[in-house]
Amino acid sequence: MFVALERLLNLEEGYRRTFQVAGRSLLLMVVEQQPVLLENRCPHQGAPLHNATVLGRVLRCARHGSEFDLFTGQALNAHCAGLTRLTLVYDGDRIGVDL
Ligand code: FES
């Protein structure tokens, strides 16, 4: 089932918004001109990521400073799992997710 999240024209660099979808908290961001959708939950100890720092393509969790590559999801300086990224789906002038 396609769930629309945002209109394409609203996606600009620095965009950041959370959505509750099917009981999950998701975080949609635009990073280096690319929309990225991930679980709004740090793989380290579960802190929400919507207030994380982003520098280039690197996201730094506000709680303990673990860093992740937003495009691969990989943890850069922490021994923990990577980010849970979700595949974005385009439908007309909207972007969303297939659940
Ligand atoms: S919960 Fe994110 S770095 Fe620890």
> Which two three-digit tokens encode residue 10?
């609203």
Distant-in-sequence contacts of 45-52, Cβ < 8 A, 24+ apart: 48/18, 49/83, 50/16, 50/18
Any atom of ligand 1 within 6 Å of the Cβ of 45: yes
Atom of ligand 1 nearest to the CA of 47: 1
* Pair of tokens at residue 57: 């393509």
Tell me how far the alpha carbon of residue 89 lies from the centroid of ligand 1, in angstroms: 28
51 C-beta closer than 6 A to ligand 1 = no
List the structure tokens of 79: 């021994």
Confidence category of residue 78, pLDDT binned at 50, 70, 90: confident
In whole angstroms, what is the distance from residue 13 CA to residue 48 CA? 21
The whole model's pTM is what?
Answer: 0.95
| pLDDT tens per residue across span 34-76 | 999 999 999 999 999 999 999 999 999 999 999 999 999 999 9
